């Protein structure tokens, strides 16, 4: 049994990274904030709109391409408004180019990852909200390493803007060029970095030039179930989709799989989820990783069905992506099919998530974990794939 993992990992090892926030970036600020910053630099306030339009509207970040700005001030404005936050360390593609995974190094050396997924009708990015994670779910690669630090608002937003630019360049064959969906299912627990995640969502949904202009309904925030934060999210003027990582319908098992359950039990977290659904009218997505002989028994499907029947909920079963060295495996397909059948018989809408990115360490945190291992075993010079 795992104990409550809410204390960030603080290591005294000489290689330990100091948690340090990055320089301020325009995506940290709303438009009024950017205008005040630009005015403070002695520039006309409308320059804030111009730079914002390049960044959010045209997905351009190279100051030399901003030809409507006087050449003399371009560099200075870019230095202040668009400092480099994400440096690509590896970019990997699979699924015939429809899935692209990016591993970024942040200004302090911390590693985070994002995934761009193209479908015939939409383009989704999966982004990280923290470097590492303090929630310690034992089946999750990110959970094993602990929390390094929260990401800044702009570090969160920049993952989406950067990959929106990659999509716009036509890199995702067979998909529309415009980014349409964002899911907070990368590294970290978004609701543990609440204020910055909310600010990031506001940037993602504000129309250009203030933001990226995505639909609120196309943004999904996935959480282990921090009940007070779910309730707070319900009171924001936002109608984003809530995904709840349930993974077990009973407290005994959920206490182990999602250790924060020791604080907020299944009944409490579902209560908060139904209140969220009622307040926003949005169906809650119940995430359930199918782990062989751990949480995939028919009786657990039936119990889950009873908990969810008649609720504004959809179950998303995720075949477990085993982390290296894990004692757990994905459920066999016949077991998965029986689980789906029982949920549907209970009247619960259920789908099995596609397993995008498996061959590029698609599971949460695996790419960063692999990179860390490479670095620590002196294989960092390996050519990126």
Q: State the catalytic residues.
A: 113, 364
Is 152 a known ligand-binding residue? Answer: no
Q: Does 295 appear as a known binding residue?
A: no
> Binding site annotation covers 189?
yes
Contact between residue 128 and residue 79 where contact means Cβ atoms under 8 Å apart: no
User: Is the four-CA dihedral 213, 214, 215, 216 of positive or negative sign?
Assistant: negative
- Nearer to ligand SAH by Cβ, of 29 and 226: the residue is 226
In the complex, the smallest distance separating the C-beta of residue 358 from ligand SAH, rounded to whole angstroms, is 10
Closest by CA position to 92, among listed 328, 294, 347, 368? 368
Confirm or deny that 245 is annotated as ligand binding: yes
> Based on CB atoms, which residue is closest to ligand SAH, 69 or 156?
156
DSSP-assigned letter for residue 67: T
Specify the residue for token string 């009944």: 267
Angle at 174 between CA 169 and CA 178, to 5 degrees: 45
Q: Is 133 annotated as a binding residue?
A: yes
Q: Give the separation between CA 217 and CA 145, rounded to whole angstroms.
A: 32
Between 73 and 355, whose beta carbon lies closer to ligand SAH? 355
Minimum distance, C-beta of residue 143 to ligand SAH, in the bound complex (Å): 7
Q: Which is nearer to ligand SAH, 223 or 331 (CB)?
A: 223
Parallel, antiparallel or unpaired: strands 99-105 and 87-94: antiparallel
* Maximum separation of any 2 CA atoms in the chain, in Å: 69
**343 Cβ contact partners less than 8 Å away, ≥ 6 residues apart:** 301, 304, 305, 308, 315, 350
Does 246 carry a binding-site annotation? Answer: yes
Q: How far is the CB of 223 from ligand SAH (least distance, A)?
A: 5
Residue 190 Cβ vs ligand SAH, minimum distance, rounded to whole Å: 6
Binding footprint of ligand SAH on the chain (CB under 6 A) = 135, 137, 139-140, 185, 189, 222-224, 245, 287, 289, 318, 320-321, 323, 363-364
Residue 280, CA distances (Å) to 219, 274, 332 in order: 13, 10, 36
State the nearest-atom distance from the C-beta of 364 to ligand SAH, in Å. Answer: 4
Q: Which is nearer to ligand SAH, 165 or 322 (CB)?
A: 322
Quick one: which of 31, 23, 67 has its CA closest to 49? 31
d(CA 82, CA 51): 9
Query: Which residues sit in the known binding site for S-adenosyl-L-methionine?
Result: 188-189, 222, 245-247, 321
Query: Which residues sit in the known binding site?
Result: 133, 137, 140, 188-189, 222, 245-247, 321
Query: Which residues sit in the known binding site for [4Fe-4S] cluster?
Result: 133, 137, 140
């Amino acid at each position: 049994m795992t104990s409550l993992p809410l204390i960030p990992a603080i290591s005294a090892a000489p290689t330990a990274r100091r948690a340090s926030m990055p320089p301020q970036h325009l995506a940290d600020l709303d438009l009024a904030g950017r205008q005040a910053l630009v005015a403070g630099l002695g520039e006309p306030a409308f320059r804030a709109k111009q730079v914002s339009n390049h960044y959010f509207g045209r997905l351009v970040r190279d100051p030399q391409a901003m030809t409507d700005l006087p050449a003399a001030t371009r560099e200075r404005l870019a230095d202040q408004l668009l400092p480099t936050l994400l440096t690509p360390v590896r970019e990997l593609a699979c699924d015939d180019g429809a899935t692209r995974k990016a591993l970024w190094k942040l200004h302090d050396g911390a590693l985070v990852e994002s995934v761009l997924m193209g479908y015939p009708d939409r383009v989704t990015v999966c982004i990280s909200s923290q470097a590492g994670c303090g929630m310690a779910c034992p089946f999750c690669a990110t959970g094993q390493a602990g929390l390094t630090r929260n990401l800044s608002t702009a570090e969160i937003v920049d993952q989406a803007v950067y990959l929106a630019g990659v999509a716009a360049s036509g890199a995702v064959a067979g998909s529309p060029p415009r980014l349409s969906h964002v899911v907070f299912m990368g590294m970290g627990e978004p609701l543990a970095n609440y204020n910055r995640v909310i600010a990031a969502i506001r940037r993602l949904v504000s129309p250009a030039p203030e933001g990226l202009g995505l639909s609120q309904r196309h943004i999904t925030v996935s959480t282990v179930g921090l009940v007070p934060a779910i309730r707070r999210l319900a009171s924001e003027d936002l109608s984003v989709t809530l995904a709840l990582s349930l993974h077990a319908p009973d407290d005994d098992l959920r206490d182990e799989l999602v250790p924060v359950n020791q604080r907020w039990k299944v009944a409490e977290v579902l209560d908060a989820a139904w209140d969220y659904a009622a307040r926003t009218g949005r169906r809650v997505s119940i995430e359930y990783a199918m782990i062989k002989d751990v949480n995939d028994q028919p009786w657990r499907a039936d119990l889950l069905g009873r908990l969810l029947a008649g609720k504004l909920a959809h179950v998303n079963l995720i075949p477990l992506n085993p982390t290296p060295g894990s004692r757990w495996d994905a459920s066999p397909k016949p077991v998965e099919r029986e689980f789906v059948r029982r949920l549907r018989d209970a009247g619960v809408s259920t789908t099995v998530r596609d397993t995008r990115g498996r061959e590029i360490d698609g599971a949460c945190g695996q790419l960063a974990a692999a990179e860390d291992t490479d670095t620590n075993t002196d294989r960092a010079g390996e050519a990126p794939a």
